[in-house]
Amino acid sequence: MYNSLIIASLFYLATPAVNALRIVQPYRVVATDGQATVECRYASPPGYQPLELHVTLLKGLYGTVSICRGYVNSTIGSMQTQGTNACKVTLSERGVNVSVAGMKEDDTDMYRCVVKVLYPPPYLEKFGNGTLVYVPDYSVTEPNKYQTPEVDLNQGMMELMPTQQERQKGTQKEMQGLGVTWVELPLPLVVAIGILIVCAMICQVNGIRHARRHGRSTQPLTPRVIPKII
């Protein structure tokens, strides 16, 4: 047993670069359909590859609430759990990916990765820098900014055309500028005046036709001038 501790200590002292292992996380992640994936990448010297890990995802920048945890190694590359927030821990070449499903809008927060290296020695426990996970509210449909809005040309033309009242006001202003007084007449009176005008025109046409039938000229008579003899 003592020999194992001595060998582990010598390995720990012989590889000081391993102590510089850091967990780097992306700054921001946007959830899609309530699912977000936080990437916990290794920042370690080349050639160093953890083979046995225990990963925990904590909610909050300084929080201790565990959202997901799992054990992975070179043989078990991924582990999935079920629950209110089903999660999956997947081992990659340069890190660990933690996917959480069933997230809601109030789950928007900072999330930190806690990675414990179980093998190879030495044992390490490292905290990530944190990732802001944004979970949109899918109950409200957001407009697509890349979609061209549909335009009703007929409605646009109707909005540009003046209304009947606007045209009437414009006509009144023009007539007032010419010195003409605008008088609004009742509709029945306007109709009666129109009928009288049409009747007068019909009577005039009939009189002209009657005069032509009887050989009378419709032209006004020119008075004859008789020269006066002195």
Give per-10-residue mean pLDDT for the chain (230 aa). 47 52 92 94 80 91 87 84 80 89 93 92 92 85 55 57 65 61 72 87 84 63 53
Torsion of CA 79, 75, 131, 25, to 10 degrees: -170
pTM of the model: 0.54
- Quick one: the chain helix, strand, coil %, rounded to 5? 30, 30, 40
Instruction: State how far the Cα of 89 lies from the Cα of 80, in Å rounded to an integer.
Output: 6
Sheet holding 87-92, edge to edge: 22-24, 36-43, 95-100, 87-92, 78-81
pLDDT, one tens digit per residue, over 151-210 is 555 565 566 565 666 666 666 666 566 565 656 677 788 788 889 898 888 888 888 887
What are the CA-CA distances from residue 173 to residues 49, 154, 167, 182, 184 (Å)?
A: 88, 29, 10, 9, 14
